Amino acid sequence: MQSAQRTVLVVDDEDVIRETVWEILTEEGYRVIAALDGSEVMSLVAKEEPDVILLDVWMPEMDGIVLLKKIRREHPEARVIMISGHGSIHTAVTATKLGAFDFLEKPLSLDGLLATIERACGDARREVSTGEERPHAPGSRGAGRPSYPSGSPGNGAGAAPQKTLKKSVVACGLGLHSGVSTGVILHPLPENSGIHFGGISGDATVPAHLDYVRSTDFATSLQRDGVVVGTVEHLLAALHSYGITNLLIKMYGEIPIMDGSAIEFCRLIEEAGVEDQQGKRPEIVIDRTLRVVGDGEEEIVIEPADGFTVHYRLQYPNPVGTQEYTYVDKGADSFRDEIAPARTFGFLRDFEKLERLGLIKGGRLGNCILIDDERVINTALRFDDEFVRHKILDIVGDFSLIARPVRGRVTAKMTGHADNIALLRQVAETYCGVGAAEEIPPAAGSPSP
């Protein structure tokens, strides 16, 4: 039961939704009031001062988005959770931009709903997905609440503060491989929650953790309990470099490619602002050499160092040639200036092959560097060595999947995501000793496996 009773206003024209949500929330200790359309909402908000407003998008009398604008204008502190049976990532993005706390898709997962209401109330007790059975709204998937890894004690003395964002922010774009118009909504989470990806239904999520890597073909993708998210490395690289440890990322299937780099994600983080939290995140201190060697020239090594450093060497035919770069992680500014602007690149012949395989459907002239046998054909380079800097961007993003800072020097030659993940698995086996499911306790607001 709630330590102090919270009030939830449910606004929905479907009787069965109002009644089911009322029953569940009342059972959980909430005080629930209800309205079937927008005509009486403003007077109820003024009179009852609800902690959370659950607001349907599609209603008679007044559209939910219009009502959201009015509520936010007259009661800017109100926490509004939008729900819709006809929602999309674009509706979710619109609602978030207008100040909605969150957006949930019908049919509602009531575990997801409860976790979202508790986040809105500031109650960081509940796991997002416990796997326990509870009643669901008619037609609900009932997938349980997501679990958020917090990391285990490190082998080093260093422990930086955990961080989240100060507010929710959104971005839109295309998925590189799916070609589908998509977007992301970044929601702050309490300390010890971890970083999670999920859909807008608010139920199951997948942690940004090595144990849930599904594929490393052309990009890094994650999967758990039916939730699949692709092309995570650029966003994760930005979050890692700004020290973000607790975040819920909602999207449809694939993170938008933006301009092919991580710079737009850096701007998104800076727009939201970074908030220090009281919890600490212990680092992994590399004290021996670990190595992965491929069938050809590929090799990636990590060895002891004073901080986190990545040296990469690539060698392609002209016009790329041989490029080397050493990145010394000095925090968000160094990443934003040196690495984040470097874009995805590929050779024209390979793009044509991938298109025939049904991949890179979202590849456009504005979100990748395209190279033929003689030159870059679609853009001016941001750095003379932009190609090698992008390979370092991918390594930083993949290394975030160990969910703890790493102190060590990475040296790589002609490697890709599969090699990065193989080295990370060695690091995890050496310094963590167990998998995520055993090592990481579930945190407030999240579904456990």
Q: What is the pTM of this model?
A: 0.80
* pLDDT given at position 368: 84
The span from the CA of 87 to the CA of 105, in Å, is: 6
Tell me the average confidence (pLDDT) per consecutive run of 10 residues in the chain, 449 residues long.
78 91 94 89 93 89 88 94 80 88 86 88 50 36 34 56 94 63 86 90 84 89 88 96 96 83 96 96 96 92 97 93 97 97 85 54 64 88 97 97 96 96 96 54 33
Domain extents for the chain?
7-121, 159-277, 285-431
d(CA 403, CA 436): 10
Per CATH, 7-121 and 285-431 having the same topology is answered: no
Question: pLDDT value at position 419?
Answer: 96
Q: Annotated catalytic sites, by residue?
A: 417
User: N- to C-terminal Cα distance for the chain?
Assistant: 24
Which CATH number is associated with domain 7-121?
3.40.50.2300
pLDDT value of position 346: 81
Rounded Cα distance, 31 and 38, in Å: 20
Q: Which CATH architecture has domain 285-431?
A: 2-Layer Sandwich (3.30)
Question: What count of residues does the chain have?
Answer: 449
**pLDDT confidence of residue 429:** 95
* CATH class of the domain at 159-277: alpha beta
Least Cα distance to 76 among 55, 93, 101, 59 occurs for 101
